[in-house]
Amino acid sequence: MTAILQEAARRRTFAVISHPDAGKSTMTEALALHASAITEAGAVHGKAGRRGVTSDWMDMEKARGISITSAALRFEYRGHMFNLVDTPGHADFSEDTYRVLAAVDCAVMLLDAAKGMEPQTLKLFEVCRHRRIPVITFVNKWDRPGREALELLDEIQEKTGLRPTPITWPIGTGGFFHGVVDRVVDQAVRYTRTPGGATKAIETELTPEQALAEIGEDWERAKDEVDLLSAIGSDHDQKAFEAHESTPVLFGAALNNFGVGRLLDAMVDIAPAPAPRPDVKDDPRPLDRPFSGLVFKVQANMDPSHRDRIAFVRVCSGRFERGMVLTHAATGRPFATKYAQSVFGQERATIDEAFPGDVVGLVNATALRPGDTLYDGSAVEFPRIPSFAPEHFWTARCRDSSRAKQFRKGIEQMEAEGVVQVLRSEIRGDQSPVLAAVGPMQFDVVKHRLAGEFNTEIAMDRLDFSLARITDAESAPVLARQRGVEVFTRAIDGELLALFTDEWRMRGVLRDHPGLVLKALLADTRG
C-alpha cells in the first residue's frame, strides 16, 4: 500500500447535520473537546454568558446563536485525522449544507430526543440518500425529558427507510439518564457530568452486578430492551451501513459531553475512509493518482484584520504540497498554493501537505468558486455543485452613491461565496441587481456583511416573483414580453433565468407558447 493510500485510510471526513436547535454546534465543540483539540467547551449555556462556540465565528452567528455558514475543524483522535465540517441548520441556508455534503464521506445526524424526526432532519436524510452518504445517528439531549427510545427507532425506520441499529442504548428514560449500554463490548457505562459541562464527562464502566446494584430498575429495563434488539436483529451491519440501508444509532447529551467519546470511537471504527470520487465522465479517480481537489466553500473576511478570502478544498486524490502550482479546471489557468492552511474555527495554521479526505484552506483564492476543480498532472474535473432553485427575490441598491464601488465589490463577493445568487438585466442595470435566495434570512446576512465588511448600507425591495426556471436565448425575448415574467442573467454562470410570479402564471405562458424552453433548477431540500 502506498503512503497516500495509508494516509487516506486514517482520514475521517464528515459533516454534522440536523434540524435547527438540535445541538450541532454544541456537538461540534464536544467532539473537539473529547479529541483534546480544545481544553474547555466555549459554549457557556445561558443567555447572559454565552460565548460563541469554536465553529461559529461570524458576528451574526454569535448574536443569533445559530450557525449560518459552514466551518471546518481539523483534529486527531486515536491515530486518525478528522476533518469535521459543521453546517448551518436553518432551512434558509440549506444550499450551503448541500455544498458541504459534496465534500464529505459520512454524516452525523443529530435528533432531538423530544422531537425526533423533524422536517429539516428528514430532508437532510434524503440529501444524504441521494448522494449515497452513510449516516450515523446520534439521539441528543437524552438528559432532558423526551420520547421512548424504541419509539424513536420506529420513527427513524418509518420515515427514512433506514434500519436503525443501535451501537449504544440508554440506561434510563429521557431526563433520567444514567449512562449507556455499549452493545459492541456488552458493557454498561455510567456518566457523571462535570461543572457546567465544560470538560469531559466522567465515564465509569460497570459490571452487570454493579449496574444492578447502583442503577436498579432502569438497568433491568435497559438490559431487557437490549436483549429485544438482539432478538429482532437490530445489530450493526457494516455493508448495510455503507450501502445506506441502515444507520447506526447512539444516545447521549452533547451539552454535558455524555456519549460523545463513544461517537468518536464509532467514527474511527465504522465510518468510511475516503474512496475514489467519480469525475464528470463518471470515472472514479483513484486515490493514489496525482493531486485533485474540489472547492466546496469560499468564505471572505474570516479574519477581519486580514480581509482575505479563503477557499475550502476537499482533497480527492494524491498528495497536496504547499507551494505546488495546480491547474484550475474551469479556466485552464495555473493556480499557486503558497498560502495553504488548516482551519480550526477562526484559528489557522500553515499546512505543508494533505491527503485524500483532508480539507485545505487556500488563502486569497479570488479565482475560485464553489464547485471548481483543481488538479495536478493529467486533467480531471469533478461534477459541479448545482445551485438551488431560489424562491425569494429582492433588489438591492446602495444608500450612499459615494459607496457605489464598495457596493459592487461587496455584491460580487456575496455572489462568489454563494451567499446569494445575483441576477442582472439590461433594464435594471448594475446599480440595482436582483438578489435571489432560498430563504429570506440570506438577505439579512448580505445586509449585515455589507455593512460590517464594506461599510456600505443598502436598501432592499421585494419583487413579486416566487419561481425561477432556466431558459435559452431563443425563448428569452418571448418570455420578457409576458406579463408577470422577467428574464435575468445569473452572474456566476451566465445562465438565463426566467422569473414568474407563481406557478399558475408559468403554466399560462407555456400554454400560450408551448415551444418555450423552461428547465427546473435543483429542488430545495426544504420541500
Residues in the chain: 527
Q: Are 89 and 26 in contact (CB under 8 A)?
A: no
**Strands (DSSP E) along 80-120, which ranges?**
80-86, 106-112
The answer to whether the beta carbons of residues 127 and 101 sit under 8 Å apart is yes
Q: How far apart are CA 8 and CA 288, in angstroms?
A: 9
Is 89 annotated as a binding-site member?
yes
- Rg over alpha carbons for the chain, rounded to the nearest Å, is 24
45 is in an annotated binding site: no
Cα 114 from Cα 345, distance rounded (Å): 30
**How does DSSP assign 247-294, residue by residue?**
EEEEE-BGGGTBSHHHHHHHHHHTSPPP-PEE-TTS-EE-TTSSPEEE
Where helices occur in 314-454 by DSSP H, the ranges are 404-417, 441-454
How far apart CA 498 and CA 231 sit, in angstroms, is 57
Residue 409 CA, chain-centre distance (Å), reads: 27
Annotated binding residue at 87? Answer: yes
**3-state class (DSSP) for residue 355:** coil
Residue 324 per-residue DSSP state: P
Query: Which amino acid is present at 24?
Result: K
Residues ≥6 apart with Cβ < 8 Å to 198: 40, 41, 44
Residue 192 assigned as binding residue:
no
Query: And the C-alpha cell for 275?
Result: 474512496
Q: Residue 165 forms beta bridges with which residues?
A: 248
CB 418 within 8 A of CB 94: no
Whole-number Å distance between alpha carbons of 312 and 278:
19
Indicate the Cα dihedral angle 202, 203, 209, 215, nearest 10°.
60
Ligand-binding annotation for 86, yes or no, is yes
Tell me the helices (H) and strands (E) count for the chain, helix number first.
Answer: 14, 30
End-to-end CA distance of the chain: 45
Close Cβ partners of 273 (under 8 Å, ≥ 6 residues apart) = 8, 9, 10, 11, 12, 105, 357
Ramachandran region of residue 46, left (φ > 0), alpha (ψ -120 to 50) or beta? left
SS3 state of residue 31: helix
Binding-site residues for GTP, please?
Answer: 86-90
Binding-site residues, please?
Answer: 86-90
